[in-house]
Structure 1
Amino acid sequence: MNKTIVIQELDFKAVRSGGAGGQNVNKVSTKVELSFDVENSLGLSSNEKERCYQKLGSKLTKENILLLSCDETRSQHRNKDLVIKRFMETMRTGLVVPKIRRKTKPKRSAIEKRLKSKKKNAEKKARRQRPDIR
């Protein structure tokens, strides 16, 4: 992922924020909505786009656009910084390549050790019982 190209491709829209804030909420557009077109991005390779479709599929629209918004603070600039950080974190986690799991076998010594401890416990429990007299 080429961060500089991706950041240039981000689209921002300022919207009026809801919630508490009094007259400021009615006058100022502080909520920031970020949209990123995954399909037409030049900063992502085709493999990275496929990984985005798979891992971020629930966050994408039908047109494969990632939408994020932030209205945590009363400052539009601060909200813009926060939504960019959130976007970068989302992309970082979405583009992580999972490690390939290789099947392993327990070592022979570990198997023998486990069987010895089982045998020892079985003998210990057998000694607790009454002797069988016939």
Structure 2
Amino acid sequence: MIEVTSRIQLDEREIKESFIRASGPGGQNVNKVSSAVELRFDARNSPNLPEGVRERLMKLAGRRLTLGGEIVITAQSHRSQEMNRADALEKLLELIRAATIVPKARRKTKPTKASQQKRMESKAKRGGVKRLRQSRPDD
């Protein structure tokens, strides 16, 4: 079990890894070794995620979420496969941890009397400037 938070643990079998060739520098090694990691996690069908966390996770995933509800994370910044595996897993865990934070509900507030008065005064001042700029027919 992989511990995400004190209340959420993921089963290793829920995470699927595949290894692909990384793009970018690496010399001759880049054409021979599949060092990049593509990590897939089925967020929609994971039994270990609470419903609220699942919904927020799917929103946070953005373009990394497939139509089937899988989150796809690719890591290729390191030359070694092991470091890319650790990097991809850490990215997934950070995403899930971010989804566990419940956003604070916004309460509607009315503007204060002082701010309303300040706004009206600035509008009147601006209107006065525009009035002075108008051309008037000669008397």
TM-score computed with the length of structure 1 as normaliser:
0.69
Matched positions, count: 120
Instruction: Find the structure with the greater CA-based Rg.
Output: 1
Deviations 1:58-112 (A, max 9, x none): 321010100011111110001111111111112222332111223457899x89x
Q: Aligned partners of 2:53 and 2:82: how far apart in 1?
A: 29
Residue in 2 aligned with 1:85? 90
Pairwise CA RMSD = 3.1
For 1:122, the equivalent position in structure 2 comes to: none
Equivalence for 2:23: 18
Question: Which piece of structure 1 moves more, 28-37 or 18-27?
Answer: 18-27
Is the 1:14–1:32 Cα contact (8 Å) retained in structure 2? yes
Partner of 2:75: 70
Identical-residue share of aligned pairs (%): 37
Between the aligned partners of 1:105 and 1:19, the Cα distance in structure 2 is 54
Deviation at 1:54, TM superposition (A): 3.0
Unaligned runs of 5+ in 1: 119-134
Aligned pairs for 1:20-39 (under 5 A) are 20-39=25-44
Query: Structure 2: where are the runs of 5+ without partners?
Result: 122-139
- The residue aligned with 1:124 is none
Using the TM superposition, name which of 66-75 and 56-65 deviates more: 56-65
